[in-house]
Amino acid sequence: MSEADLTAPIPVPPATTRRPRKAKAVAEPDTPEPGRTNDPEATMANILDVATTEFAEKGLAGARIDEIAALTRTSKRMIYYYFGNKEGLYVAVLEEAYRRIRHIETDLHLEDLDPEAALRKLVAFTCDYQRANPEFIRLVMNENMHRGEFLARSESIQKLNVPAINGLRSVYERGVAAGVFRPDIDPVDLHMSISALSVFNVANRHTFALIFKHDFDDPACIAARRDSTVEMIVRFVRQ
């Protein structure tokens, strides 16, 4: 596999392709509301899709359950039934956002590649995913404004991120053992560096575009920035 193949854009599913959360193990109303179907998984998936956009755009304080309900195929009452309250829905949105990126990462099959090729593929994927999912970035930025208060309430988010670090650690340690990566890097620090470079490309592109009069949405610019990010990370860890 050539170096160009490893840094080529990796297909990233649209943000609306989410796995529905399982319904709570409590009795559901016997009769669906008029004009609505009794399909808990589809209903919850629809609520999460709409709520993701609302929370990403307006934050926890600005989002309104009434507005979310108006944009879904369900009602305010059913949103409360499935998620308890607005904070419960917000936590569920965070969980789904993290679950999705970690689930896709497991399909990269990094263990099948040599260490440097695996690292290149992971960094390129991260750049492409963040670019294709700006809502994820806004959700994370909003949650940082809350100092991680709501993320801390979710045990599943903590568990979801363990495989991400373990996967990167495996790639890095294989590289160290092969003599191609230097042996003094903390995998969590490396993960943070990859995320920082990938997120900044999206989070700050509007201000940079205005200040430096540069079109960061141009496909050639996007590809060049991704390739540059991959190269920076690889050179950082090389022996």
The dihedrals phi and psi of 214, each to the nearest 5 degrees, come to: -130, 140
Taking only the tens place, the pLDDT of each residue in 136-176 is 999 999 999 999 999 999 988 888 888 889 999 999 999 99
Three-state DSSP at 238 gives strand
Identify whether the C-beta of residue 60 lies closer than 8 Å to the C-beta of residue 142: yes
Identify whether the C-beta of residue 47 lies closer than 8 Å to the C-beta of residue 74: yes
Q: How far apart are CA 195 and CA 143, in angstroms?
A: 16
pLDDT of residue 7: 55
In the structure, what pLDDT confidence band is assigned to residue 8 with cuts at 50, 70 and 90?
A: low
Which amino acid is located at 169 in the chain?
R
Which amino acid is located at 16 in the chain?
T
- The percent of residues in the chain predicted with pLDDT above 70, rounded, is 84
Give Cβ neighbours of residue 135 (< 8 Å, ≥ 6 apart). Answer: 15, 52, 53, 56, 97
In the structure, what pLDDT confidence band is assigned to residue 25 with cuts at 50, 70 and 90?
A: very low
Taking only the tens place, the pLDDT of each residue in 54-87 is 999 999 999 999 999 999 988 999 999 999 999 9
